[in-house]
Amino acid sequence: MLSKLCQRAFKKSIWVYHANSGGCNGCDIEVLNVLTPYYDVERFGIKLVGSPRHADVMLCQGPALRSTAKALERAYQAMPAPKLVFAIGSCACGGGIWYDSYSVIGPVDKVIPVDFYVPGCPPRPEAIVYGVAVALGLVDKKVAPVKLKQLEFPIARYHPEDLECKDDMVVYTKLDRI
């Protein structure tokens, strides 16, 4: 549904703003790479811009850090709606290998809402191009969505409040509830 919405909301060329909130630079240069001859995203009308005020899409790299969280939030607020946020790389998606360090808040979605995730450390340029293309509805997803359904039969549940001590043994007092 979101990709259909994207096709309507982002009909024209999308302009991209990239914000590194504290990553190692690896994802940055892969993002730069997709702009250059071998991957050339300009054929899709995608262009990097210098200000969040001109951007439709923000690419976030690196975990959210205490020192940059506020600046990242301001950059997000400066983007005009409709806007999309991509988390590029393991750090932005899940916090990376320093997810619980004292100066790291965690994944970017703890600070700003994230719409799409492109994992990898760093993600290959192809992965970034593919992620953006899927999000914009330019190509179809190659993975079938998995739908989870509630099972119909009730699953027996363990009720610790029904446990009782009897002569060195622990027994259930209401066996029917198990």
Short-list 8, 115, 130, 137, CA closest to 59: 115
Is residue 177 within the footprint of other proteins (CB under 8 A)? no
At closest approach, how far in Å is the CB of 73 from other proteins?
A: 8
Q: Of 2, 5, 13, 97, which lies in the binding site for other proteins, with binding defined by CB under 8 A?
A: 97
Is residue 62 within the footprint of other proteins (CB under 8 A)? yes
Is residue 15 within the footprint of other proteins (CB under 8 A)? no
- How many residues touch other proteins (CB under 8 A)? 43
Q: Of 7, 13, 103, 173, which lies in the binding site for other proteins, with binding defined by CB under 8 A?
A: 103
Q: Which run of H or of E encompasses 119?
A: none
Q: Per CB under 8 A, which of residues 145..174 are in contact with other proteins?
A: none
Window contacting other proteins (CB under 8 A); options: 5-13, 28-36, 150-158, 164-172: 28-36
* CB-based burial, 145-173: b 16+ in 10 Å, e otherwise: eeeeeeeeeeeeeeeeeeeeeeeeeeeee
**Residue 60 burial by CB count (10 A; 0-12/13-18/19+): exposed, middle or buried?**
buried
